[in-house]
Amino acid sequence: MFKKKLQNVTTVEDQKGVKLEVELSRPSKEVRWMKNSVVLQPGANMDIRVDGAKQTLIFKSVTTADRGYYSCETLDDKTQAKLTVDVQKIEVVKGLLAEVKANEKETVTLEVELSQADVEGSWTRSGAKLKAGSNCRITALGKKHALTLSQLKMEDAGTIVFQAEGVKSSGKLIVAEPAAMISRPMEDVKAPEKEKATLECEVSRTNSEVKWFKGDTELKPGKNFGIHSQGRTRSLLIHKCSKEDEGTYVCRTSDDNTSAKLTVHARDIKIVKKLEDVEVMEKESASFMCEISHDEVACQWFKGDTKLKVGDNIKMRQDGEEDTHI
């Protein structure tokens, strides 16, 4: 006879150590446990323990498959009870951040934690399902699900959604261009008058836009200045330097700047080819020619100590670095 009969038990799936217990009026070996009229034997997920007149059916971890009517029978008596296993509701313990910001070419990891382990989930970006690839890694470890995106591009931005068995979590991924920094600053430059001078720096991104300034005045391309961009190099070309061009020049990106000083000095002008003696007949023309080291040099001609001027009998011509007196 049963001194304590089976009682109905309600639990949730994955619950550990669920028990169905009876107590006989005296110890007996003629006891069997059954589920839906099928005799039960101890196994991987089930154990039957006997402690004198007490007998216990123990589930190591219950699933919905364990639902049903269980009975314990002796030769003289029988008791029955129902085991109800409810589906455990999955909840989001830790969801996605509302907004995540990252720069191009960086790596970002988005993570969700659920209330249960081993739950299958999926990831989407702006409605399109994401699949694992070289720049997209999807992992699930226990209760945690993670999405890792590497070598980010602007098109990776959008609404990221994780879904799993009736729950979901979403957040916005914003991909921005990295800061436009100066990777190689300008250096001071010295240049002779009327010669070209180039101020140059290097930026961190090939598409970085820059502005050039002398003091507080922004410089524009024109007769005196040339502004060039090639790859990550940015340069300012001053066509013909003069003393007025001396000063501090600044190159500015949206996030950084660099400056350098331009010093303009006089040219080291030399006579490369000297005058030679000339012998001519009376009333014939005579030409004197010399060559100097630079062009655009103001020259003066003298006869003795007397400065010569252009007139009916005197002509002067300058052709590049050559100066001619006729």
Q: Where along the chain do its domains lie? A: 2-86, 92-176, 182-265, 271-325
Q: Tokens for 304?
A: 């003795």
| CA–CA distance, 229 with 298 (Å, rounded to integer) | 36
Query: What is the three-class DSSP state of 30?
Result: coil
b/e sequence 106-145, b meaning 16+ C-beta within 10 Å: eebebbbebebeeeebebbbeeeebeeeeebebebeebeb
2-86 shares its CATH topology with 92-176? yes
User: Quick one: pLDDT at residue 294?
Assistant: 67
User: Quick one: pLDDT at residue 320?
Assistant: 63
For the chain, residues with pLDDT lower than 70 are: 294, 297, 320-326
Residues 58-70 have pLDDT tens digits of 999 888 889 999 9
User: Quick one: pLDDT at residue 303?
Assistant: 82
- 182-265: CATH topology is Immunoglobulin-like (2.60.40)
Q: Is the pTM of this model over 0.85?
A: no
Half-sphere CA count of 13, side-chain side, radius 13 A: 13
CATH of 271-325, one of 2.40.170.20, 3.40.605.10, 2.60.40.10, 2.30.30.100: 2.60.40.10
Q: Tokens for 177?
A: 């261009």
**What superfamily would CATH give domain 2-86?**
Immunoglobulins (2.60.40.10)
Task: Name the class of domain 92-176.
Answer: mainly beta
